[in-house]
Structure 1
């Protein structure tokens, strides 16, 4: 509980057209437009944008931003901060905690005059062999996403979904299984989980997925043998697993595959009608976001009397938090929640 003489976080953490602004520190968190000083939670495009003068993030996020945007566009000046390392900026104590979302993702933790706020970015609570797990940081104010903030969204253990994929591969050995997944985070997580499940054969990639897999390897995440799906013969892809952007799996690009079984790995695959409308034969409910139960549990565990919701199903989450005695507020930040995750559309292979 915040002492009586400490300032409320809303007096120093402001909502602006550019995003959340730490006024005494003089920096933005995941700004939606180019600013002088930005602290970036992770590398997805709705949180990490080009053109900032100074960027602070984890080493991994800075590398991912540079790989996606090119040299010089991911911050004129970059500063890496390790999770748990503390920095003081104009009297504001700043540190990062793992968010569990993708490699390098972090919660931005701030304390000013005894008042503590945590901006989670995007996060998940399930285990991920390619990302450090979420760490709870008690605070006076917690800023959360709400992508899957409805009771219908309860994600199954990801291992069971990987097992379903491998059973289908065994059942249809003459067909290619093409799995739609986002190029940053989801693709590498699927590869790592397949390796854990014993799949030691080459995994084939759409051209849009290759660069970030190389970045992950450079950052120490071992992915095993990967091959370009574009140059493979159709005969060689029988019984193979191919990873591609969701927009490519039902596109003409997939015609090069051997009688493809179309799968998509996404939290949205919990909505069967959505899967059916998209022509998905094998929906895999694997998400890099917290589900309904995880959102509620996290908001309780951080012990914050107040929670701000940045994007997603704000109303449902705020109502549920209110029943638990937690004050909720919808921020309606423009531009967040628009990452390509789950909805990326790529119709041509850049390597073709």
Structure 2
């Protein structure tokens, strides 16, 4: 009889640890051997001795941390390829979250665990789509695990943005979006919707856009927001779309722009009070995480009799699992819910649980 996953996948202060394999998955601090699901800061940390991840995630880590901090040794593993580590078969599958994001499938003595990392089920022109993998235990996030979170189609939200640009041609539209994943996705969605004019970028999001293009994701014409304007210079970029970190809209940086319309692209914009508190004039419900229905659909798809919940609204999801006859377990991992979608993370690119 295969061993129960709890006997070989341990919850530690550093995160999930595969005991027979001798490695952590998305550890919260530097370790000897780490498998990284994707490049966001609450999953990818600097200073590991050895790192295994997709080639794209390794490139993102090098861009963010520097060559000398992205792992002393770096082992790329493409989607669908497998490697065996101390008897544990490890395979990476697309998670659909951001470029290079992966689910980590681990098999040992006939037992299979899939650690999803963060994921979404919507089509994203900038990354590979989520692939369900049947398993004995599925480790899921629960960022938007409440029935109130049912995200509208991305095309609907992009159309709202373009309609506002057409309605207010004398104003700049500043979209607050995370540097990694969300910025590039919004750009790609705008291109698909027919916006072929240059999109202007805050300096904090330029570097990763350049990286995405170097990794084969076309983004079209991108321009930096002009710098060095003298005092008294007329407001700039009327009728244009600007993408910036979420907090930039409230800084002196935004004063050079023509009567900016403050936009924010996040699943949290479902909560009207949250948009109001942030003085968001045009909330755009565009998320890089699965909503409530997509979480439940994913759990049906992977057919796991047991689901572990790593962070987010675990109580609601665990209850919903019990109604399906599935054992739910809230892991309460440290380091998965310390950063909000405001403040520090905005330059790093995550949309995390508040």
Aligned to 1:24, the other structure's residue is in SS state coil
Q: Structure 1: which 5+ runs fail to align?
A: none
Contact persistence 1:99–1:135 (CA under 8 A): yes
How far 1:235 moved relative to its partner? 5.1
Greater Cα shift, 10-19 or 330-339:
330-339
Q: Which residue of 2 aligns with 1:320?
A: 320
Q: Structure 2: which 5+ runs fail to align?
A: 348-354
CA–CA separation in structure 2 for the residues paired with 1:190 and 1:234? 28
Q: Which residue of 2 aligns with 1:72?
A: 68
CA–CA separation in structure 1 for the residues paired with 2:49 and 2:338? 23
CA–CA separation in structure 2 for the residues paired with 1:347 and 1:301? 32
Contact persistence 1:175–1:261 (CA under 8 A): yes
CA–CA separation in structure 2 for the residues paired with 1:85 and 1:148? 30
Q: Does 1:144 align with 2:140?
A: yes
List, as ranges, runs of 4+ consecutive aligned residues in structure 1 with deviation greater than 3 Å. Answer: 232-236, 337-340, 344-348
Q: Which residue of 2 aligns with 1:269?
A: 269
Aligned to 1:21, the other structure's residue is in SS state strand
TM-score, scaled relative to structure 2: 0.95
Distance 1:319 1:214, change over 3 A: same
Q: Which residue of 2 aligns with 1:178?
A: 174
Q: Which residue of 2 aligns with 1:257?
A: 257
Aligned to 1:210, the other structure's residue is in SS state helix
Q: Which residue of 1 aligns with 2:204?
A: 208
TM-score, scaled relative to structure 1: 0.95
Q: Which residue of 2 aligns with 1:242?
A: 242
Q: Deviations over 1:294-337 (max 9, x none)?
A: 11111111000000000000100000111011100010001014
Contact persistence 1:248–1:346 (CA under 8 A): no
CA–CA separation in structure 1 for the residues paired with 2:322 and 2:256? 52
Aligned to 2:315, the other structure's residue is in SS state helix
Q: Tell me how large the CA RMSD over aligned residues is.
A: 1.4
Contact persistence 1:248–1:345 (CA under 8 A): no
Contact persistence 1:156–1:285 (CA under 8 A): yes
Q: Does 1:45 align with 2:41?
A: yes
Q: Which residue of 2 aligns with 1:99?
A: 95
How far 1:345 moved relative to its partner? 4.7
Name the count of aligned residue pairs: 343
